[in-house]
Amino acid sequence: MIKPELPVILMTGWGSIALAVEGMKCGAANFIHKPWDNDHLLQSVHTALTLSHSEEKAGRDTSPSRKQLDTQYGFSSIIGEDPALLTVLKTIGRVSATDASVLITGESGTGKELIAEAIHRNSLRRQKPFVKVNLGGISSSLFESEMFGHKRGAFTDAKADRIGRFEMAHKGTIFLDEIGDLDMSSQVKLLRVLQDRTYEVLGDSRSRSVDVRVICATNRDLPAMVAENKFREDLFYRINLITVKLPALRERSDDIPLLANHYISHLKTVYQRDGLTISRKALHWLKGLPFPGNIRELRNLVERTVLVSENNTLEVADFEQQMHAGAKPVGKVSLPAVGTMTLDEIELAMIRQALEVHNHNISKVAKALGLTRGVLYRRLDKYNIPYDPKE
């Protein structure tokens, strides 16, 4: 090969799923079917070349500081200085100006939506819509209507025309959150629009074109799901041209004081308490917590403590009183002995306990367990736990 560093785009009129997947596995930047759309083809070529150039430049550059990243890209809404986080910021800064699909992975509450928003803000589409879609909360029966829209009379309850999420995001960015929760039939429908950039509105046979940048996020292990035939391999390779994994909060504990003080600065204004602060001892204590709910759990803990405590200087005791039962300091988490319970039995016990604590309020139970409502519903069905679907 004369220039092995050049990116490769596969194009064929005899495309198949197997060929597409094999090509992406071998390092192809994209896979395009004939007949192609000229704008989409040029966009794909530009993205591939830009990414290749930026990767080459990144290999020569030294690691930028947090201040340099903020100056260049404007990441002020993302708090932290941990090296793992800076690596993520460097990556998204580098790819933001392209149209490359990005897959953001990480545990619930790690800030995947903030990263998606930062990519959009630094992209060439920043003046266009940023449309967020929680796929975990959309049932398979409503998927097409929600994503592609419908015409009046397309089905029984279609009283008026509805604009789909992809049409809303035209020329902008669509953020598909919880993509790992999408059922197989909906995955097929999503793959078509990502592959051909065309879709059909329910009740209208005319195909429509869409120009969007796609960002996906999940807390699931998609490669494992592909191996178990629970997630389409061709869809996986469509959405993960660039993958960024967000570290859990416990993996960057030095950022906990920065985050806590950031929330305090905000809450000073919200609750008109100019003297609010956190003692150094309390900040050190917070660093020792595992925070299974990550940044979201820390933010909730700080706000609850501010609301309840009458002290302007928050101490360890103030936070301890507001601690969620599941958030204990490292080393004090009590688990059943190995062999006494299966994972399913532990999960069932946690769900039942959360239902009891939150009086069967599905939204609160899902939030406490770090799940979406859609995932929680499936768990309840799995264990035959009755619930009110209208809640």
pLDDT (mean) for 218-227: 94
Answer whether 78-245 and 343-382 agree in fold: no
pLDDT at 65: 85
- Domain locations along the chain: 78-245, 249-322, 343-382
Contact residues for 249 (Cβ-Cβ < 8 A; gap 6+): 109, 110, 255, 256, 259, 291, 294, 295, 297, 298
CATH number of 249-322: 1.10.8.60
Q: Report which secondary-structure segment, H or E, holds 130.
A: strand 130-134
| pLDDT at site 155 | 84
User: What pLDDT does residue 373 have?
Assistant: 81
- Strands 102-105 and 242-245, by their bridges, are parallel
Compute the mean pLDDT over every residue in the chain, rounded to the nearest whole number: 84
DSSP secondary structure string for all residues of 173-188: EEEEETGGG--HHHHH
The pTM assigned to this predicted structure is 0.71
Where does the pLDDT of residue 371 fall: very low under 50, low under 70, confident under 90, or very high at 90 and above?
A: confident
Percentage of residues in the chain having pLDDT higher than 90: 51
Residue 263 has pLDDT above 90, yes or no: yes
pLDDT tens sequence across 161-202: 999 999 999 999 999 999 999 999 999 999 989 988 999 999
Which phi-psi region, left, alpha or beta, contains residue 80 (left: φ > 0; alpha: ψ -120 to 50)? Answer: left
* pLDDT tens, position by position, 304-328: 999 999 899 999 999 998 875 334 4
pLDDT at position 329: 45
pLDDT at 316: 93
Q: What is the pLDDT of residue 322?
A: 86
CATH of segment(s) 78-245: 3.40.50.300
| Best CA proximity match to 224, nearest among 175, 176, 182, 180 | 180
Going by the DSSP 8-state scheme, the letter that residue 291 receives in this structure is -
Euclidean distance between CA atoms 202 and 291, whole angstroms: 44
Q: Is the pLDDT of residue 340 over 80?
A: no
pLDDT at 325: 38
pLDDT of residue 331: 45
Confidence of residue 79 (pLDDT cuts 50, 70, 90): very high
The CATH classification of domain 343-382, taken from the options 2.60.40, 1.10.132, 1.10.10, 1.10.287: 1.10.10
Among 55-64, 303-312, 373-382, the least confident range: 55-64
Q: What is the pLDDT of residue 328?
A: 45
